[in-house]
Structure 1
Amino acid sequence: MLELMICSLVTILPDYLYRRYVQGKRFGKEITFFSVWYELRWGITGCLMLTVSLITVIFYFHPSTSSATLYFRTVPILPEGSGRVAEVNVKFTQAVKKGDVLFTLDDSKQKAALETAKRKVAEVDATMQTAQADVIKAEAQVGEAKANYQQAKDELEVKSELQRRNPGIVPQRDIDKLQVLVDQRQSGIDAANAARQAAALQVSTSLPAQKASAEAARDQAQVDLDKTIVRAGVDGRVEQFLVRPGDVVNQLMRPAGVLIPEEAGRKVLQAGFGQIEAQVMQTGMVAEATCMSKPWVIIPMVITTVQDYIAAGQFRSGEQLLEAQNAIRPGTILVFLEPLYKGGLDGVTPGSSCIVNAYTSNHEEVSAKDTPAGRRFVLHAIDAVGLVHALLLRIQALLLPVKTLVLSGH
């Protein structure tokens, strides 16, 4: 309507004034209700053509959308396992800080596992002390075996020397027995060394490995016990927290509630523009928004990101082939907008519905010296008609409470 009124000022109105004051025709006489089309046909035709052109230029180069909101991600309150609730520390809705305990699960099983793991570590420590005593014992046995070996060897050498000096004084059988005894004592030394090495390996390698495994099992049991205490991962607010002692919660079916991060939905506004504006939407474009939760306020914005993909084109692999005509509604181009000034979104409730206008700016190209005069005029006209869309947004912001509270029938 506003575009029609503006276009009529330069088409229908001059045509009427020409026929009224130049040709002398009077409204109600020569210009009647039935002769309006014929008398003002040039003005009416020009007005309609100019209105359609103006609307096309405005909505293409300065796109608008009412599909805009402050999306935010909620964090489900879930334990890492499953169990029965033992104690609840927060209310149905309450502000929490990172690390605050929300609720605890029954931990009797985890405490028993932790105590068993601790006992296993103590058992390995006791075994290590026993093994160290075995090492000392094995070293003593090595010394004893060496002494016995040396005694048998000395006796063999004495009798062998006597046999050499005076053959027959010592029976050969005694010398053979002593040689067997020396070999036996040598084997005893080897066995004692092997026992000592085994005891040393037990102390230096086997038992430390067993202790490390026992400590790992103890740490795992401690982790499982800590998992029974559910804490807030971020600063925020707990909502719909209905869990009570005795309830069973798990990751698949029974979340305890939701945690809304403190800054969720308070920094970025997401808006979906029509696909036809794909070539117009650019990062850095200036925009304006008005939101239902903060009426009568125009918020200056700037486009920070333009999503390269349209969500309507995504699909998941399945047993059926993709049928293109099932995508009835065309997807939109998702853009992310941030306030141009600090605190611009203060007072806007996260999740609020908003209306967003984006404005094309050709100032740099218009100001360039090498831009032709004709193109400069067209670009300047495109930038100028953005004022119409800005005025429309302000009218929408003014009428939004009336439309919502009165005309919608609530």
Structure 2
Amino acid sequence: MFELMFCSLLTIVPDYLYRRYAQGKRFGKEITFFSVWYELRWGITGCLMLTVALITMIFYFHPTAESATLYFRTVPILPEGSGRVEEVKVGFSAQVKQGDVLFTLDSSKQQAAFETAKRKIAEIDASLVAAKSDVVKAEAQTQEAKANYQQAKDELDTKAELQRRNPGIVAQRDIDKLQVMVDHRQAGIDAATAVGQSAALQVSTLLPAQKASAEAALAQAQVDLDKTIVRAGVDGRVEQFFLRRGDLVAQIMRPAGILIPEGAGRKSLQAGFGQIESNVIKEGMVAEASCISKPWVIIPMVVTSVQDYIAAGQVSGGQQLVEAQNAARPGTILAFLEPLYKGGLEGVTPGSSCIVNAYTSNHEEISAKDTSTGRAIALHVVDGVGLVHALLLRIQALLLPIKTLVLSGH
């Protein structure tokens, strides 16, 4: 209506003034209600054409998006394993901090594994003490074997020397028996040395390796035991937390609830603009938003990024070929907007539906020296008609509560 009234001032009104004062025709005489079309045909035709052109220019260069929402991310509350709920620490809705316990699972199996691993370490420690005693014992046995060997060796040497000086004084059989005893004592030394080396190897390598494995098993058991305690991964709020004692929770089949991270949906707004406006929506454009959860308020915004892909065109591998005509509707250009001023989205509930207007600005091109006068005037007109769209947004924001509460019939 505004565009029609504005265009009539440039077309129908001058046409009527020309016929009234230049041609002398009077409204109600030569110009009647039934002859309006014939008398003012040029003005009416020009008005309609200019109105369509103006509306097209306004909605193209200053696009609007009625599908705008403050989307927010949710984190499913899932244990790393599965089990039955032992205790629930939070209520239906609660504010939580990172690390707060949300609920615990039955941990009898994990506790038993933890105790087993703990006892295994104690057993290896005891074996290590016993092995150290065996080392000391083996050293003593080695010394004893060496002493016995030396005694037998000395006796053999003495009798061998007597036999050398006075042959026949010592029986050869006695010398042979002493030689066998010396060899036997040498074998005892080797056996005691081997036992000592084995005990030392257990103390230095085998038992420490077994203890390290037992400690790793204990750490794994501790990890499994900790998995039965489910904590909040981020600061946020738990909503609609219906979990109760005895419920079965599995990582794949059944999440325990939803955690909404703190600040989710309060920093940016996502708006879907028509595909025809893909060449107009640019990063850095100034915009305005009006949200239903915060009526009668216009929020200054700025476009921070524009998604390069349209979600409606995505495909995934499957068993059938994609049929283009099955697309229900064309998709939109997704733009991310942030408030121009700090705290601009305060009071807007995350997930709220909003209306967004974006405004094209050609100030830099108009100020450029190489811009012609005609183009500068045209760009001024383009920027100026954004006022109409801004006015329409404010009218929508003004009528939105009335439309929702009164005219909707609820």
- Report TM bin, short chain: over 0.9
Report the counterpart of residue 53 of structure 1 in structure 2. Answer: 53
> Which moves more between the two structures, 164-173 or 264-273?
164-173
Report how far residue 100 of structure 1 moved: 2.2
Letter in 2 for 1:111: Q
Report how far residue 285 of structure 1 moved: 1.1
1:2-401 equivalences under 5 Å are: 2-401=2-401
- Determine the C-alpha separation between the residues in 1 that align with 2:86 and 2:249: 11
SS at match of 2:385: helix
- Determine the C-alpha separation between the residues in 1 that align with 2:45 and 2:75: 58
What per-residue deviation string (whole Å, max 9, x for no partner) do you get for residues 86-138 of structure 1? Answer: 22222212222222222222222222222222111111111111111111111
Letter in 2 for 1:114: F
Report how far residue 51 of structure 1 moved: 1.8
- Determine the C-alpha separation between the residues in 2 that align with 1:38 and 1:311: 51
- Determine the C-alpha separation between the residues in 1 that align with 2:62 and 2:393: 11
Report how far residue 17 of structure 1 moved: 2.2
Report how far residue 343 of structure 1 moved: 0.3
- Determine the C-alpha separation between the residues in 1 that align with 2:154 and 2:375: 119
What per-residue deviation string (whole Å, max 9, x for no partner) do you get for residues 321-357 of structure 1? Answer: 2222222311211111111100000000000000011
Change (3 A) 1:181 1:31: farther
Report how far residue 195 of structure 1 moved: 1.6
> Which moves more between the two structures, 277-286 or 174-183?
174-183
- Determine the C-alpha separation between the residues in 2 that align with 1:217 and 1:28: 104
SS at match of 1:366: helix
SS at match of 2:244: coil
SS at match of 1:328: coil
- Determine the C-alpha separation between the residues in 1 that align with 2:167 and 2:373: 136
- Determine the C-alpha separation between the residues in 1 that align with 2:195 and 2:376: 99
CA RMSD in angstroms, aligned pairs only: 1.8
- Determine the C-alpha separation between the residues in 1 that align with 2:379 and 2:168: 133
What per-residue deviation string (whole Å, max 9, x for no partner) do you get for residues 371-402 of structure 1? Answer: 22232222222222211111111111111112
Report how far residue 269 of structure 1 moved: 0.5
Equivalent pairs: percent with the same residue?
Answer: 80
Structure 1 stretches of 5 or more lacking a match?
none
> Which moves more between the two structures, 358-367 or 158-167?
158-167
Letter in 2 for 1:385: V
In the comparison of the two structures, how many residue pairs are matched?
Answer: 410
Provide the TM-score with structure 2 as the length reference: 0.94
What per-residue deviation string (whole Å, max 9, x for no partner) do you get for residues 234-263 of structure 1? Answer: 222221111222222222333332222221
Report how far residue 309 of structure 1 moved: 1.4
Report how far residue 290 of structure 1 moved: 0.5
Change (3 A) 1:4 1:173: farther
Structure 2 stretches of 5 or more lacking a match?
none
- Determine the C-alpha separation between the residues in 1 that align with 2:306 and 2:224: 44
Letter in 1 for 2:170: V
